[in-house]
Chain A
């Protein structure tokens, strides 16, 4: 069958539409990915911020300024004097269990 002029027009039109659709789809996907990336980055920043805040709080709660008075008040503990600290000497060479 001989391809007439209007058929060529139709072929070109279809080709044009296909390329346009491809470009549109790729752009849409890229924008979607970019949004997702921004969102993930924001989430990571949030989590890192949260982690930093928790770390700060843990360090503050673990500090001697907080722990020692609490241990003294609630558990009746005290900082040991050196006479209350016993360091067990290491066994000498060859003095392991029989």
Chain B
């Protein structure tokens, strides 16, 4: 056996060797592989998370929100972490609305419920051990059925999937941010604030041109009509002819779906297009005033086509042809137009081309150029066949008649605002071209007025307000052929007939019950919508201008209506859309008490609509924007601490 000194030396050398190895390994880890290990450690202990940006709000023209962003949650459950599996499991199932075999799901190692669940639904789960909430921003529609097809929806990926959500995605989406959070060895997040790398940038808010109340009127009227007539579907479009802003657009199919058919489905307009043949005849002076043509006893044979009238007349003027919707007379008059002239006028009114409205997948319709026409094409086009249009195209063309002959590009977007409320874009009417002169447009409106006063549109007549309109009933094309017994009834109206404020297009597809004629189907629907619009408080109608069209109040027997109190517009009424009024800057009333805020707005000559109670929070239009005196400013208020109110108000007063 070796001597102790030798053994000790052996041990010393051994220890030294181990230490040397450790030093070498430490040098390898720290110096040679240091960066890699540092990165691995970083990755293990930190995680980069995405901070989702708030998607912009979509609201109607009065600021009523139509689509908002809201925080919702995905829920993860680790059953082995639950304190009382039975009790907590039942609570989770109740809150998340789990049915069926939820116990089985909770028997797994980790159960994940994508939801998304609202904050209210998950509130009782916040304190439950083993429940992990993953916040995710989600789209919320306060009135889900209102203009659903037009507004569209956001897809699972958070991007706009359809409708205006899709069109406006780049504006609404904003820019996501990122942050780094600390994690422990098990991958659980530390309860420490995240280190923000990039702040999320909220999306812009968009004010649509829709009027929520008119939209509801349109949807209800259409639903009622489809139910009553047992029709396959239908559309309603309402436009402001001065700006071509879409005020309401409703589409409904028999199966209850709401495909945006007003933008994407075309139909043969039939007699509602006769007015455009009349426009060409008047503009090119091919018809003398009072000139008559024979009614041919209701049957007029042309090479390749026989034209008939349901209500034969001995002789007709152009006004009569429009009033009673005579196919024979309009075909005879239109024969005086060259194909290029007839085509040119339809083209000038926007047929056969996209309107340019901001809706994905809009259809252009079909208008064949003259070199593709067959022998009966000219006659067919004069009565609205061999031409396919969308309801929005038809409404835009009638808007041109209403505003003095200017074809405008229809729009759905009224304003775009930054998240801070700054106006980035405000819609101004965009003329496409002049279709006819103001004099010809006025003459055409007179023709349309005759339709309602003494012609086929009598069912749309109102007692106190003149309406100009045209009916159209066409055979439906199914699989490339005209289907027997199937019709499309359409009605295009201008309200009121003088200086119109509203263009309405109503289309009913294949009504089964009752008459299939537009005069008995689409016209009464139009009247009902107009009556409701007149009675509604917030609908975008300039009642000051309407009142001049109404007969004197004394002419209406107030006492004879069985004690019914008529709806009386507040006086003096200051409408939103009177153009000549002075514009004023909206004052900043944030932080003021409600009474003071309202007083400040009144001093500038605005009307005030209140939303909420407490302290003024913001206004719509926002502070600093200008609005016409007499326009309505919506004042949003929120309850706050009374002490804070005083301080804010004092600070504002000093400023």
**Residues 526-547 of B contacting A (Cβ, < 8 Å):** 530-532, 534-535, 543-544, 546-547
* Residue pair A48, B71 in contact (C-beta under 8 Å): yes
Stretch among B302-310, B349-357, B515-523, B561-569 lining the A interface: B561-569
Stretch among B81-89, B105-113, B462-470, B480-488 lining the A interface: B462-470
Q: Which of chain B's residues has its CB closest to A77's CB?
A: B564
Asked whether A9 is an interface residue with its Cβ less than 8 Å from the other chain, the reply is no
Residues in B with CB closer than 8 Å to A63 are: 143, 216
* Residue pair B553, A86 in contact (C-beta under 8 Å): yes
Asked whether B90 is an interface residue with its Cβ less than 8 Å from the other chain, the reply is no
The complex places the Cα of A81 from the Cα of B550 at a distance, in Å, of 14
* Residue pair A52, B142 in contact (C-beta under 8 Å): yes
* Residue pair A50, B120 in contact (C-beta under 8 Å): yes
* Count of chain A residues with a beta carbon within 8 Å of a chain B beta carbon: 36
Given the contacts A46-B119, A50-B120, A82-B464, A88 and B569 also touching, CB distance less than 8 Å: yes
Contact of A86 among B65, B544, B556 (CB under 8 A): B556
Q: From residue B467, how far is it (CB to closest CB) to chain A in Å?
A: 10
The complex places the Cα of A53 from the Cα of B70 at a distance, in Å, of 11
Asked whether B420 is an interface residue with its Cβ less than 8 Å from the other chain, the reply is no
* Residue pair B556, A49 in contact (C-beta under 8 Å): no
Q: Which of chain A's residues has its CB closest to B561's CB?
A: A84
Residues in A with CB closer than 8 Å to B193 are: 30, 33-34, 37
Asked whether A91 is an interface residue with its Cβ less than 8 Å from the other chain, the reply is yes
Tell me the dominant secondary structure on chain B's binding face.
mixed
* Residue pair A49, B465 in contact (C-beta under 8 Å): no
Question: How large, as a class, is the contact surface on chain B?
Answer: 35 or more
* Residue pair B571, A88 in contact (C-beta under 8 Å): yes
Asked whether A89 is an interface residue with its Cβ less than 8 Å from the other chain, the reply is yes
Contact of A49 among B71, B220, B464, B571 (CB under 8 A): B71
Contact of A87 among B71, B120, B569, B572 (CB under 8 A): B569
**Residues 73-132 of B contacting A (Cβ, < 8 Å):** 118-120, 123, 126
* Residue pair B462, A80 in contact (C-beta under 8 Å): no
Q: From residue B301, how far is it (CB to closest CB) to chain A in Å?
A: 44
Given the contacts A45-B135, A78-B564, A80-B531, A85 and B464 also touching, CB distance less than 8 Å: yes
Residues of chain B at the chain A interface (Cβ within 8 Å): 65, 68, 70-71, 118-120, 123, 126, 135, 140, 142-143, 191-193, 213, 216-217, 220, 462-465, 530-532, 534-535, 543-544, 546-548, 550, 553, 556, 558, 561, 564, 566-569, 571-573
